[in-house]
Amino acid sequence: MKEKRLISRRRAIFTGLTSAGALLLSGCLKKAPPTYGSILRLGDDLTYLAQRGLLSQRALVMEYQQTDITSFPVTDIGDPANPASTKAYSKEYEALLKTDFKDWALTIEGAVAKPGKYTLDQLQKLGERTQITRHSCEEGWSAIAEWTGVPLAALLKDAGVLASARYVSFYGFDKYAESIDMLDALHPQTILAHRMNGESIPARNGAPLRLRVETQVGYKSVKYVQRIVVAEQFVDPAQDIQAGWSWYNGI
């Protein structure tokens, strides 16, 4: 039979779906981190968008019992308090450690209404959460520890995070840095920990304050946190992507 109608129902549905799909896709790709032309990073973006699209962003990771706590390796880029450590050494950090972090304060800036500094006491007044969780390293090992800290969401709220904020970057004294998106930043188990296994965080485990992003692998959880920057645009502060690493590590 000859097609008489200008637009058949089937064609209308098909065209509609295709254009909706194209719009969705372009919208998604705009939200994805840059790939710099690498097919591997394109795969990372696909994983990121799929996990954001298909999974609940409020689901909590499994929490364990005291008896599940294991030994905990320190496998970072170096000791920021040791002058022999070429990559990580910070004179400022060494001095702070010597005085038991008496003069330490966390800086928060960027897309917040009240940029400024928080002492450990001020941070602790914002709230507290204790969780026994698993640290999964990209290398393949895992370790379980109890962490106590301030929910990052509470700090962001106190600093007056702007509605336009989309990413949060964390800079450590060891010159290590990472960023996460607002979904992970506001996750209830994303905390700035100041205690580990019931004591102040031991020096090499990230004293005096370290990030815990429980929904991603270990290398997102920046240690020795010095500065937090909230941004409206995508930032990759340690240039994971250009260095050949995945920025998103929910898998």
Interacting residue ranges for other proteins, rule: CB under 8 A: 39-44, 46-47, 51, 55-56, 59-62, 64, 66-75, 79, 134, 136-144, 196-199, 202, 204-205, 214-217, 243-246, 249-251
Q: How far is the CB of 217 from other proteins (least distance, A)?
A: 6
Q: In terms of CB distance, is 116 or 202 closer to other proteins?
A: 202
The residue (of 12 and 55) whose beta carbon lies closer to other proteins is 55
191 Cβ contact list (under 8 Å, min separation 6)? 129, 131, 147, 149, 150, 151, 152, 211, 212
User: Which tokens go with 28?
Assistant: 């998604």
Q: Which is nearer to other proteins, 124 or 136 (CB)?
A: 136
Minimum CB distance to other proteins smaller for 126 or for 223? 223
User: Long-range contact list for 24-32, CB < 8 A, 24+ apart?
Assistant: 28/53
Between 12 and 74, CB nearer to other proteins: 74
- Give the shortest CB-172-to-other proteins separation in angstroms: 15
Classify residue 21 as exposed, middle or buried by CB count within 10 Å of its CB (0-12, 13-18, 19+): exposed
Q: What one-letter code names the amino acid at 178?
A: E
Task: Give the Cα separation of 165 and 157 in Å (integer).
Answer: 12
In the complex, least distance from residue 169 CB atom to other proteins, rounded to whole angstroms: 20
Q: Is residue 39 classed exposed, middle or buried when 0-12, 13-18 and 19+ CB atoms within 10 A define those classes?
A: exposed
CB of 51 to other proteins, least distance (A): 5
Write down the least CB distance from residue 49 to other proteins, Å. 12
Distance of CA 134 to the CA centre of its chain: 15
CB of 246 to other proteins, least distance (A): 5
47 burial level (CB within 10 Å; 0-12, 13-18, 19+) = middle
Task: Give the residue with the Cβ less far from other proteins, 169 or 246.
Answer: 246
